[in-house]
Amino acid sequence: MMTMLTSVTHSPLNRRKFLMLGAGLVAGSALGTWAKMARAEATPITLPALPYADNALEPVISANTIGFHYGKHHKGYVDNLNKLLAGTPFAEMPLDKIITESVGKEENTAIFNNAAQTWNHTFYWNSLKANGGGEPPASLKAKLDEFFGSVDAAKAELQKAATSQFGSGWAWLVQDGDNLKVVKTGNANTPLTDGLKPLLTIDVWEHAYYLDYQNKRADYVTAVLDKLINWDFALQNMG
């Protein structure tokens, strides 16, 4: 069965193994195995360590890009979020609840944007691994074959989502009930707020690739899908 690409929108450095336990990132119902390791905690929200060294993804993604992307952008979202949460009811909430409680509320746009970007980036780092890509695990491959026709067709849908997203955003492989599909979101938006279960994501904000690829987003996406995408992580998240 072939799926259709969907756009999801809403209103408005030594790296140890990813320390999800204290990161405050996901509700247990959202992300399967990964979520069991990552019970959300209240603020202060912390910047979790990368799950690999900052040069581990070279030559596809350089240590220089990781330094800016993780060390400046991701850290900036975490720092801004903690400042915004101070003295608000959100300060006692775990990160996933901050996201779902602030989405679509104009007065909380800044909180939503920084909370969702904090969550999205952590999920993105885990969606990549050194020597990734290749053949997915058998059970995931069977699902990709069922809903997209083949692994290559699933990758093509992710490529299309990532390259056709206008401006900044994300391409996602998600589970919707028993189905798998590809969606894209703009800016900080996340499938979490639509009841979808993210399996993996590709960041297509310019800061994810511009130092290495300049305006050649398609080249970055192709390289990620062929050499870095973490199919094991997607399988862990699949219920």
Q: DSSP string covering 17-29, please?
A: S--GGGT--B-TT
* Spatial contact of 127 and 54, defined as CB atoms under 8 Å apart: no
Left (φ > 0), alpha (ψ -120 to 50) or beta: where does 87 sit? left
Which one, of 5, 14, 233, lies nearest residue 140 by Cα? 233
pLDDT tens-digit readout, 96-118: 999 999 999 999 999 999 999 99
**pLDDT higher than threshold 80 for residue 78:** yes
Q: Which residues contact 139 (CB under 8 A, 6 or more apart)?
A: 235
Q: DSSP string covering 114-162, please?
A: HHHHHHHHHHHHHTB-TT--SSPPHHHHHHHHHHHSSHHHHHHHHHHHH
Q: Where do we find the tokens 């690829």? A: 213
What share of the chain in percent tops pLDDT 90?
81
Question: What is the Cα Rg of the chain in Å?
Answer: 17
pLDDT tens-digit readout, 5-43: 555 544 443 333 333 333 333 333 334 434 433 344 555
Strand pairing partners for 181? 174
Six-digit token string for 128: 């990549």
**pLDDT higher than threshold 50 for residue 185:** yes
CB count within 10 Å of CB 178 equals 9
